[in-house]
Amino acid sequence: MINEDFIIADLHIHSRFSRACSKNITFENLVKYARIKGLNLLGTGDFTHPEWFKEIKEKFIDKKKGIYYYNDFPFLITGEISLMYTQGHGRRVHLVVLVPNLEVAEKINSYLDTKGRRDYDGRPIFKISCEEFVREMRRISENIEIIPAHIWTPWFGIFGSRSGFDSLREAFGGQVEHIHSIETGISSDPPMNWKIKELDGKSIVSFSDSHSYWPWRIGRESTIFKKTDSYSEIIRQIRENDFIATIETDPGYGIYHYDGHRNCNFSCSPSKTKELNGICPVCKRSLTIGVEYRVEELTEKNRQEDFKPEGAKPYYKLLPLHELISLAIGKGIETSGVWQIYNHLIKEFENEFNVLLDVSKEDMMKIGINDELIELILKNRVGKIKVKPGYDGLYGKAIMGEKQVKLS
């Protein structure tokens, strides 16, 4: 399924300078595990942070096409901005920013310095509206690409139940025509987004928003592009919806798919939430409304479950390989037992995406992989692993018969 004419890219990641991220994130670790995963292109993440940006300038090789190289591995200059402002009521929105070169990145940072500090977090917060931010970025360079991040998450998603909007036009106003794509986020997949008519003309891309370099994080969601060595061609494919496909996790894997309260150990489907009038039966407070409910709320009435708009891209629904091994042997994803099997598969079959998508049952049997794990890998390829949905910040749980394992 994956061939040498494709680039599998994860353009939304973070550095060790972002809150709630691994302090061991280095470019060396990112490249090591990107190759193990089977990724061919990464975003740098966090270009707005002075220390991380200094490393980019010092360590990367510029081949003058907008793609930079660390140890011969390609990167785009990328980051995520958090906008917190009032428009009717409090809004909190995350945007992924793709940047054509270091010179433009310098100009963006200079602009942001007029609005606040950049040194306290790799994902800095500014009191700027979505519309103003897009307008100011276009004044710096029309080659800057802005993608609303994880658009359905309750907090910081453009359509989020807690602080988002009901439409892209409401959020971006007169600049909405310059928003060419949206990021699904882990709690939604393309079919969920196909229900929203306003998104028909937008590319639907996927990236991991990874907070570490581990292979069950990085690349867990990614976009498959046609092979290129230039920034401008990646942007063209996004703007013209001309890439190959996306790789998605099961949306139930995401930490905000269902409604609920983690502290109350309670979750439920949108239909149950409506029966409860949005009130938690345990603590009697308002439930955290998840992605599935919010998608239903904004879905066009004439769009059924099987609706597929013209130009919709194919996608692969996959759980990370560590999760499958963990489920098969009943041990945590970070345990030595899981790593031993994982490393054996990578040694034999080169990278994780190759195992998840391409390696035959017969070839896995030849190297002694047990039948239960092989069955899971094959089921994973066709999206047949059941997942108990995550909610209110908790990951979902993969289910196999009576065995249930928390995804993490």
Tens digit of pLDDT for each residue in 319-348?
999 999 999 999 999 999 999 999 999 999
Are 242 and 346 in the same domain? no
| pLDDT at position 26 over 80 | yes
From residue 280, alpha-carbon distances to 235, 272, 286, 289, 389 in Å are 44, 11, 6, 11, 17
For residue 302, the model assigns a pLDDT of 75
153 part of a folded domain: yes
Average pLDDT estimate for 398-406: 63
Whether 103 and 182 map to the same domain: the answer is yes
Does 33 fall in a domain?
yes
The pLDDT of residue 405 is above 90: no
Give the structural domain span for 241. Answer: 6-252
Taking the C-alpha atoms of residue 200 and residue 195, their distance in angstroms, rounded to an integer, is: 9
One domain, residues 215 and 337: no
For the record, the structure tokens of 120 come out as 């306290």
The pLDDT, as a whole number, for residue 3 is 78
Position 267 in a domain: no
Q: 335 and 239 in one domain?
A: no
Residue 407's pLDDT is 53
Residues 233 and 333 in one domain: no
- Residue for token digits 């959020």? 171
Q: What are the backbone angles phi and psi of residue 317, rounded to the nearest 5°?
A: -100, 110
Q: Give the model confidence (pLDDT) of 188-201 as tens digits.
A: 999 999 999 999 99
pLDDT at 164: 96
Residues 343 and 241 in one domain: no
CATH of the domain at 240: 3.20.20.140
Tally of domains in the chain: 2
Asked whether residue 310 is assigned to any structural domain, the reply reads no
Measured CA to CA, the distance from residue 181 to residue 163 in angstroms comes to 20
Question: Quick check: helix, strand or coil at residue 30?
Answer: helix
Q: Does residue 293 sit within a domain?
A: no
- Picking from 231, 252, 273, the residue at the C-terminal end of a domain is 252
E strand or H helix that includes residue 260: strand 259-261
Q: Tell me: the pLDDT tens digits for 233-269?
A: 999 999 999 999 999 999 999 999 999 999 999 999 9
**378 and 244 in a common domain:** no
Q: Are residues 237 and 101 in the same domain?
A: yes
Q: Which residues contact 374 (CB under 8 A, 6 or more apart)?
A: 361, 364, 365
**Residues 245 and 366 occupy one common structural domain:** no
Average pLDDT over residues 373-378: 97
Kindly state whether residue 23 falls inside one of the protein's structural domains.
yes
Per-residue model confidence (pLDDT) at position 2: 73
Q: Report pTM.
A: 0.96
Residue 60 to residue 392: CA distance in whole angstroms = 38
For a pLDDT cut of 90, what percent of the chain falls above it? 94
Among 252, 274, 290, give the residue marking a domain's end.
Answer: 252
User: What is residue 135's predicted lDDT score, i.e. its pLDDT?
Assistant: 98
Averaged pLDDT, 345-369:
97
Statement to judge: residues 203 and 336 lie in one domain: no
**Domain stop point among 206, 234, 252:** 252
Distances in Å between the Cα of 27 and the Cα atoms of 56, 71, 353 are 9, 9, 21
In a domain, 403, yes or no: no
Within-domain flag for 308: no
| DSSP 3-state of 226 | strand
| Same domain assignment for residues 72 and 184 | yes
Report residue 401's pLDDT band, with 50, 70 and 90 as the boundaries. low
Mean per-residue pLDDT of the chain: 95
pLDDT at 406: 53
What secondary structure letter does DSSP report for 387?
Answer: E
Q: How far is CA 349 from CA 318, 353, 357, in A?
A: 18, 9, 11
pLDDT tens figures, 264-284: 999 999 999 999 999 999 999
Q: Do residues 19 and 148 both lie within one domain?
A: yes
pLDDT band with cut points at 50, 70 and 90 for residue 306: confident
Q: What is the pLDDT of residues 201-223, one digit of tens each?
A: 999 999 999 999 999 999 999 99
Q: What pLDDT, on a 0 to 100 scale, did the predictor assign at position 17?
A: 98
pLDDT in tens, 106-127: 999 999 999 999 999 999 999 9
